[in-house]
Structure 1
Amino acid sequence: MSVDLPDLLPAALRRAWAADGTCPDLDLYSLYRARRIAHPERTALVDAEGALTYAALDDRARRLAAGLAGLGVGPGDVVGAQLANGRDAVAADLALAALGAVALPFPAGRGRREAVSLLGRARAVAVIAAAEHRGDRHAAELLGAAGELPALRHVVAAGPGPVPEGAVALSALLECDPAAFRPERPDPDDAARILVSSGSEAEPKMVAYSHNALAGGRGNFLGSLLPDGRAPRCLFLVPLASAFGSNGTPVTLARHGGTLVLPGHFTPDAALAALAAHGPSHVLGVPTMIRMVLDRIARGGAEPFPAPTAVVVGGSPLDAATAREARRVFGCPVVNLYGSADGVNCHTGLSDGPPAAPGPGIVAGRPDPRVADIRIAVPDVPGLREAPRGAVGEIVARGPMTPLCYVAAPELDARYRTGDGWVRTGDLGVLGEDGTLRVVGRLKDVVIRGGANISPAEVEIELAAHPGVRDVVCVGVPDALMGERLAACVVPRAGALSLAELCAHLDGRGLERGRHPEHLLLVEELPLTPAGKPDRAALRERCAGQGPFARAG
C-alpha cells in the first residue's frame, strides 16, 4: 500500500497558479520530453564519464523506466535513490517521473540506520543504490535490511562494484527496449518527489512535493536568475539528492532546458577543474564549500575560469565577508539563498540594488510571490497571527513551491502547517519597511547556558566578520554546571587565533559577554555531512572531548 500524501494547501490556490501560468501544469517527464524533442543534441549533463545529450539521456531514462515497470513499479509507488551525482541519479529522476512514481532521493554516504528509516516510513517498494561509493556498499546494506522493510520488493545496484546476490543490476534494466515504454501522465499536482530535511527531529523529516511545486515554484526561483533567458549551465557542488539539489533534474533540465555539470564528490580542486573546463553559468553550493574553493584559489595554481552569471549559496547562513570575497574572486553576483525542504525560499537576486537598512541577522532579499509569499507570525500562537512590520517573529511561507505535506508524520503537519496551508519554518526573521527579509536565527536552535538562551547563528555571524576567520560553526556542548556551553569551531585564515582574541572581537561588535563562546576548536576544514552541510554533530563530539571550558564573564 502506497503512503498517503495529501495536499494541505487549498486546491483553489494550486489551480489558480496553474491557470495564470505561474506553474507549467505539466508533469516533470513531459516537460523534459518537450526539451528533448526541441533540442535533442543539446548537452543535458556532464559528469565523470563525459557528456550526455538530451536524446541520449532520454534513451537511458526510458530504458530504466521500462526495466522498473517490469519489476512492478507503477504510479504512486515510492522508490528510493541513494546515488552520487552523475547520470544514474539523473536518469533515475526522469524514469521515476515517467512512471508516475514518487522519487525519494537521499545522498550517498548516509548510513544504514537513516536509510532504513526513510525507506520504511515512506513505504518504498524499491531502492536504487550505489553498489560501492567511497568504501560504502549501500546496495548490500539495504538488501541486508530487507527484513526491516516489509514494503521493499527490490534493491537495484548501480555503478561500479559487485552486485550483491539478490539485488537487480541497474545495467540489466538499461538493456530494456525504450521504444516499448509508454510514459504515464500523472496529475501535475500529484506527488513527484520527497525531499529530506535534517531539521531538529530525531529522524530526518520527509516533505512531499508535486510536479508543479518543483517545476513551477522552485523553477521560478532559478528563472529569476536567468537575465537573458538562455538555458542555464549549472555546476552543482551539492548532492542532487539533497533539498538544494532538487534544483537539478526537475528545474535545470525539465523546466529550463539547461545543462547539469556534475563533478561527483566535492573537493575544491574538482570544483575548480569543472569551472575551468565547462564554464558554468551558475555555481550552486553551501557557504563552507565556497569558502574552501576561495581558500584553494588564494593558495595559487588554480586554472583561470570565465566569470559565471551567479554563485548561488544556500543551506546555511552566508556572512558578509564571504559574500564580498566570492563576489571579487568569481567576478559575478553572489546570491544568498534562504530556503529549506519545508517550503520556504527567498534570495537576494542578481542586482545588488540599494543597501538594505541596518538590522539584525542576514539579508535574504525580497520574497517573490511566484515562488513563496513570506510573512512574519507571532511564534507559538495557533493559526497565523501576523507580527507588526519590523518585529521579529517566526517566518511562515505559502506559495507555488509549497509542498503537499510531511510524509507519514501527521504530528509534523499539525505542528508546522496551518489550516489554510501556510508553512511554519521554525526560523526567526523580520520584514523591513522596504519588504526585505532578514533571517535572525532558529526558534529551537539555541544553546541554553545556565537558563539563558544563546543563538549560535547570531554568534557565527559576528565571528565571521573577524579578518582571521575563514569559516566558523558554533555548537552547544553539555556541561555539568551550566547545562550547556558554547563552543566555536573555527577554520583560521592564517596563523593562530585565541579564544581571548575572538571574544575581544565580539566585545567590539557589541555582543554581550554571556553569549561569547567558552571553548575554541581550531580545525583545518569543517567536516561535512553527506548533504554537504557542516557536520555539527561531529564537531559537538570533538568539542566535548577537549577538556575544561574557559569561563565567560
Structure 2
Amino acid sequence: MPDLVPQHLRRLWSEEGIYPGAAVFDLFLGKAAVQPDQPAVFDDDGVTNYSQLREKALRLAAGLRGLGVRAGEVVACQLPNSALACAVELATAALGATVLPFPTGRGHRDVLSLLRRSGAVVTVIPARYGDVDLAATMAELRPELPHLRHVVVHGAEAPTTVDELLATEPADLDDLPSPDPDTAVRYLVSSGTESEPKIVAYSHNALIGGRGQFLKRLQRPGRPMRAMFLIPLGSSFGSCCTFGVLCALGGSLVLQRKFDPVQALRAIGEHRPTHLAGVPTMFQRMIGSPEFAGTDTSSLQALITGGSLIDPQTVDRCVADFGCTLINLYGSADGVNCHNGLDDPPHAAKTTVGVPNPSVCSIRIVDDSGADLPPGEVGEVLARGPMSPMCYVNAPELNERYRTPDGWARTGDLGVIDPVGRLRLSGRKRDIIIRGGSNISPAQVEGVIAAHPSVLSVACVPVPCPDLGQRIAACLVAVPGAAVPDVAELAEFLRVQGLEPRKFPEVLLEMDAFPLTPAGKVDKRALAQQATEVFTATRGDEPARV
C-alpha cells in the first residue's frame, strides 16, 4: 500500500521520538503487563481490566486466525461501543491484519461499499441494531462480496459467532507476527463529499505517534486519562480510543452502546471520567436534561468537541455548567488536527481551533494555485504531519484529488492564521452538510432520491438548525403529471433503498425548475436560501411549492 508522505519525514519523526517504532498490540501488552488490574473499559456490561481485555483479545486473535485471517488482510467490525469492540481491534492488530471499524446504523449501500472497497475477509456484526436484522441484511449482501469469507455474529445463533471465537484457546504470543510499524493497522472511514464513503489507511506509527501524541497533550501530569467517548469507536474521532487511550496512554475508556443524555450523566457520576468527548449537540442535550443539576461533574478536566462547529454561546455554557475547559478540536479522518490547549484562555475556543502543533500536524494556508499565504489572509487549509495517514484505500483518484504529491491533505476548508498564531476557520469549499456532527454527502442523497419514480430532478442543500447545526432540505422537480412525495413517503422510499435515517431530508421544496448560475449550474446558494425560508416558516412538515 503506498504511503504518500515522503519517507524521509517518517524517518525524521522516528528519530525525534515522535513515533514509537513499535506495533500497537505490543504497546498494549506492555501496558497490560505493568497494570493488569487497572480498569481498561467501563461499558454497559461492567468493568474490564487490562488483564481481562488482553485475554479477550488473544482468544479472538486465535479464533480469527482459525477462520483464516492472516497478516495484511482486513477485518471489518460494526459492533457498538464496548470492551468487545476494543478487543476485536486489538485481536486484529495482534495478527498483523488491518481493522476496519465503522458504526452500526449505516445503510446497506454504505456497508456494501466499505466491505467491497476494503476487501474485508471477515466482518464482525451484532445480530440486530434497533429493529434492523443486520445478520439477514449481511446474508443478502454476501453474494456481492466475493472477498468476504466469514460473517461473525454477536448476540444470536449463526454459522460463526463471537462466543465461539471467545471460547478458543488464547493465541500464543510467540506465534504472533511482528508487524512493521509503518504498515497499515487501521482503516478510518471518512464520509466527505463523495457519493460513497472514503477509507483512509493508518499505520501503527501514525496512530500512536499522531493521534496518541494529540491525546497526551490533553492529559494532566500524574493523572491518567479516563476518557468517556459519546461518539462511536468506528468514527474518525473514535479511533483515538483503543489505539490511543489504551495502547498509547495506558488510560481507561468509558463507553456506552448508544448515546442517551440521561445515561451519559449517570455514567459521569459513577465512573468519574477526566475527559468527555462528543459533538456540541450532545453536550447541549446533557445540559438540558433534568438530571444535569444532580450530576457531579467535578472529575472532568476537559470537554473535547469535534465534528461540528460550535458557537461561542455554547462554549460559554459548557465551560460554566460542566466546570472545566472546552477543547475545540478541528480534525478529520484525513489526518487533520488542531485544537486549543488545556491552559489556553477561554476565549480561544470560541472563535479559533488553537495553534497548530507540528509534532502532530502542521497546517498551511494556501491560495487556489497552492502557494502559501501570509498570516491574516484566508485560504484553503492543508495539513500534514506525524498523524498523516498513508493513503486512501483502493482509490487512486481520491489520492490525486485530496492529497498533494508530497502528502499534504487538501481539506477543502477555508481558514486564516490570526496574529497570535491560532487557526480560525472561515467556511468550507466543499459541498457537504453537517447534521449533528455527522458529515453527509449531498451527492449520495441526491443519487438515491433521483431513483424515485415521481422525481425528475433533485438538489440537496443545508438549512440551519439550532439543535443539529444543519438539516437536509431536498429541492425536487416532479416528473410531469406526478406529485412529489411528502416527507414521510420519501423517508420510507429512502429506507427501502438502504439509506440510513440520519441522511433523510427533513425539508422538501417542490419546484417547477431550479435556479441556475451564469455558468448554467444549479445555484445551490439560492436554493439553500429558499429552503431556509421555508423551514423557518413551516418547520418542513410538508412539501412547499416555490
Fold-level match, TM-score > 0.5? yes
2:341 maps to 1:349: yes
Structure 2, unaligned runs of 5 or more = 434-441, 443-459, 479-525
2:404 maps to 1:418: yes
1:210-253: CA deviations, max 9, x gaps?
11111111111111011214321010100011111001001000
Which residue of 230, 239, 263 maps to 1:237? 230
2:534 maps to 1:519: yes
- Contact 1:342–1:423 (CA under 8 A) maintained in structure 2: yes
- Contact 1:309–1:332 (CA under 8 A) maintained in structure 2: yes
Letter in 1 for 2:366: A
What is the CA–CA distance in structure 2 between the aligned matches of 1:307 and 1:62, rounded to whole Å? 33
TM normalised by structure 2 equals 0.81
Within-5 A mapping of 1:99-178: 99-158=95-154, 160=155, 162-164=156-158, 167-178=159-170
- Contact 2:340–2:348 (CA under 8 A) maintained in structure 1: no
Match of 1:501 in 2: none
2:427 maps to 1:438: no
Match of 1:214 in 2: 207
- Contact 1:315–1:338 (CA under 8 A) maintained in structure 2: yes
2:369 maps to 1:375: no
Match of 2:5 in 1: 9
Deviation at 1:101, TM superposition (A): 0.5
2:274 maps to 1:281: yes
- Contact 1:307–1:331 (CA under 8 A) maintained in structure 2: no
The structure-2 alpha-carbon separation of the partners of 1:302 and 1:188, relative to structure 1 and needing over 3 Å to count, comes to same
What is the CA–CA distance in structure 1 between the aligned matches of 2:432 and 2:109, rounded to whole Å? 27
Match of 2:327 in 1: 335
List, as ranges, runs of 4+ consecutive aligned residues in structure 1 with deviation greater than 6 Å: none
Match of 1:315 in 2: 307
Match of 2:513 in 1: none
What is the CA–CA distance in structure 1 between the aligned matches of 2:138 and 2:471, rounded to whole Å? 34
- Contact 1:28–1:250 (CA under 8 A) maintained in structure 2: yes
Within-5 A mapping of 1:61-80: 61-80=57-76
Letter in 2 for 1:423: A
What is the CA–CA distance in structure 2 between the aligned matches of 1:417 and 1:475, rounded to whole Å? 28
The structure-2 alpha-carbon separation of the partners of 1:328 and 1:18, relative to structure 1 and needing over 3 Å to count, comes to same
What is the CA–CA distance in structure 2 between the aligned matches of 1:27 and 1:519, rounded to whole Å? 54
- Contact 2:74–2:118 (CA under 8 A) maintained in structure 1: yes
What is the CA–CA distance in structure 1 between the aligned matches of 2:541 and 2:409, rounded to whole Å? 35
Match of 2:40 in 1: 44
What percentage of aligned pairs have identical amino acids? Answer: 44
Letter in 2 for 1:227: R
2:49 maps to 1:53: yes
1:284-340: CA deviations, max 9, x gaps?
00111111111115x766433324010000011111111110101110001000001
Letter in 2 for 1:114: D
Deviation at 1:343, TM superposition (A): 1.2
The structure-2 alpha-carbon separation of the partners of 1:521 and 1:170, relative to structure 1 and needing over 3 Å to count, comes to farther
Tell me the C-alpha RMSD between the 2 structures: 2.6
What is the CA–CA distance in structure 2 between the aligned matches of 1:396 and 1:314, rounded to whole Å? 18
- Contact 1:477–1:543 (CA under 8 A) maintained in structure 2: no
Letter in 1 for 2:407: G
1:249-275: CA deviations, max 9, x gaps?
010000000101012210101110111
1:339-398: CA deviations, max 9, x gaps?
0101101011112338569xxx9411111111100011113x3xx421232111110000
- SS across alignment from 2:288: helix
The structure-2 alpha-carbon separation of the partners of 1:548 and 1:50, relative to structure 1 and needing over 3 Å to count, comes to same
The structure-2 alpha-carbon separation of the partners of 1:302 and 1:136, relative to structure 1 and needing over 3 Å to count, comes to farther
- Contact 2:40–2:253 (CA under 8 A) maintained in structure 1: yes
What is the CA–CA distance in structure 2 between the aligned matches of 1:242 and 1:123, rounded to whole Å? 19
What is the CA–CA distance in structure 1 between the aligned matches of 2:214 and 2:537, rounded to whole Å? 37
The structure-2 alpha-carbon separation of the partners of 1:52 and 1:300, relative to structure 1 and needing over 3 Å to count, comes to closer
- SS across alignment from 2:75: strand
2:398 maps to 1:398: no
- Contact 1:307–1:330 (CA under 8 A) maintained in structure 2: no
The structure-2 alpha-carbon separation of the partners of 1:355 and 1:49, relative to structure 1 and needing over 3 Å to count, comes to closer
Match of 1:304 in 2: 296
The structure-2 alpha-carbon separation of the partners of 1:522 and 1:19, relative to structure 1 and needing over 3 Å to count, comes to farther
Structure 1, unaligned runs of 5 or more = 449-453, 464-468, 482-511, 524-541
Letter in 1 for 2:113: S
1:508-550: CA deviations, max 9, x gaps?
xxxx9x9693233599xxxxxxxxxxxxxxxxxx84844246x
Match of 1:505 in 2: none
What is the CA–CA distance in structure 2 between the aligned matches of 1:17 and 1:140, rounded to whole Å? 46
- SS across alignment from 2:232: coil
The structure-2 alpha-carbon separation of the partners of 1:81 and 1:56, relative to structure 1 and needing over 3 Å to count, comes to same
- Contact 2:335–2:388 (CA under 8 A) maintained in structure 1: yes
Deviation at 1:471, TM superposition (A): 5.2
Deviation at 1:179, TM superposition (A): 4.9
What is the CA–CA distance in structure 2 between the aligned matches of 1:402 and 1:426, rounded to whole Å? 16
Aligned length, in residue pairs = 471
What is the CA–CA distance in structure 2 between the aligned matches of 1:440 and 1:400, rounded to whole Å? 25
Which residue of 418, 424, 429 maps to 2:415? 429
Match of 1:527 in 2: none
Greater shift, 317-326 or 181-190, is seen at 181-190
Match of 2:516 in 1: none
TM normalised by structure 1 equals 0.80
